[in-house]
Amino acid sequence: MSTVFSGIQPTGGLHLGNLLGAVRNWVDNQGDTVGFFCIVDLHALTVPKEPGEVGKGSIELARELLACGLDPTESTLFIQSHVPEHAQMGWLLQCNTGFGELNRMTQFKDKSAKQKDFVSSGLFSYPSLQAADILLYDTNQVPVGADQRQHIELTRDIAVRFNSRYGETFVVPEAVSPAAGARVMDLQNPTDKMSKSAATESGTIYLAEDLSKTAKKIKRAVTDSEVEVRYDPEAKPGVANLLGILGAATDRDPAALADEYSQYGPLKSDTADAVVTLLEPIQERLSELQQDPDSVTAALITGARKASTTAQATYQRAVQNIGLTPPG
């Protein structure tokens, strides 16, 4: 069975982009793969946070991921800081990552531009920690949205470089993204990706929000002044985004769906219905889990234990291959 690893930051609630771009893939492949899914709390510290904020967000995110269908008996769900080898391996890999390579990362450029007062060096070296996350688990596939593919490419380069410097240590992973939904755009600014840090709330659909609000956001989505329904992300980003969301939610090809619509109104209401249908069962499970906080904690404890076994073995292999002096 191939091994799958992916991570997500505990910053704000899960949104539709996270679900369609990544989390749905994680859930759908359970049972056929060995899955490690990590709440990357250390990554969240790369931008300033209030005391306690990241810890609370991590538990909420765990609950949401379980509600989306991650099954702790099939997959390993854990919090990054519970497995210290992530930070330790992160350092080893930082020393095998080029400054120039990090300087080319578009996520760093975007995020550092938003930080007016303080840009941490952690934000810059973040992709080396992400590489550590992935390489610790001998990962074959990394299911991510399109915005993370550059980081996975860098992870591959780091793995190849380390293997050639120190001998065969890491499996070289590959990124996988869904055909539809790999890049869900903001409903109000369809040339920006949907994100938690969007300018307005109305462009982002949160998994836990009131579903009448969800439907309204989709019906008010920005389109264009034409009337033709056509899948053209360059020329018609708003319409293409709706077709992409509808395609992802109903497992259809967005371009083929375009042929079934001649007006924006029906496209919007079908998209709203499809998203509501997708989110309803998730919200039901979410409210069940809210009544059962112990099951969330138990999943995270078991997850950290399982993840540690693999992470410790890989970390030891890396240290041995580098040839650091063993203790004792």
* Cα(46)–Cα(52) distance, integer angstroms: 15
145 binds ligand TYM (CB under 6 A): yes
Rank residues 64 and 270 by Cβ distance to ligand TYM and give the closer one. Answer: 64
- As measured in angstroms, the least distance from the Cβ of 6 to ligand TYM is 4
* Cα(89)–Cα(86) distance, integer angstroms: 5
3 binds ligand TYM (CB under 6 A): no
- As measured in angstroms, the least distance from the Cβ of 291 to ligand TYM is 27
6 binds ligand TYM (CB under 6 A): yes
221 binds ligand TYM (CB under 6 A): no
What x/- string results for residues 176 through 205 when contact with ligand TYM is judged by CB under 6 A?
A: ------xxx--------xxx----------
Residues numbered 79 to 138 that lie near ligand TYM (CB under 6 A) are: 130, 133-134
4 binds ligand TYM (CB under 6 A): no
Rank residues 97 and 195 by Cβ distance to ligand TYM and give the closer one. Answer: 195
Half-sphere exposure of 246 toward its Cβ, with a 13 Å CA cutoff? Answer: 27
173 binds ligand TYM (CB under 6 A): no
Q: Are 50 and 9 in contact (CB under 8 A)?
A: no
Other CB atoms within 10 Å distance of the CB of residue 56: 11
Rank residues 56 and 167 by Cβ distance to ligand TYM and give the closer one. Answer: 56
What x/- string results for residues 22 through 41 when contact with ligand TYM is judged by CB under 6 A?
A: x-----------------x-
List % helix, strand, coil for the chain (3-state, nearest 5).
55, 10, 35
Nearest to 174 by CA among 199, 143, 214, 201: 143
Rank residues 193 and 236 by Cβ distance to ligand TYM and give the closer one. Answer: 193
Query: CB neighbours of 119 closer than 8 A, spacing ≥ 6?
Result: 112
The C-alpha angle 175, 163, 324, rounded to 5 degrees, equals 125
Residues belonging to the active site: 111, 193, 196
Stretch that binds ligand TYM, among 20-28, 50-58, 61-69, 209-217 (CB under 6 A): 20-28
What residues are paired with 33 via a beta bridge?
30
- As measured in angstroms, the least distance from the Cβ of 316 to ligand TYM is 21
144 binds ligand TYM (CB under 6 A): yes
**What is the size of the binding site for ligand TYM (CB under 6 A)?**
27
Query: CB neighbours of 5 closer than 8 A, spacing ≥ 6?
Result: 35, 36, 37, 38, 133, 134, 137, 139, 141, 142, 173
* Cα(120)–Cα(48) distance, integer angstroms: 8
- As measured in angstroms, the least distance from the Cβ of 262 to ligand TYM is 27
Secondary structure class of 8 (helix, strand, coil): strand
17 binds ligand TYM (CB under 6 A): yes
* Cα(273)–Cα(253) distance, integer angstroms: 17
Q: Which chain residues interact with ligand TYM by CB under 6 A?
A: 5-9, 17-18, 20-22, 40, 43, 130, 133-134, 142, 144-145, 147-148, 151, 182-184, 193-195
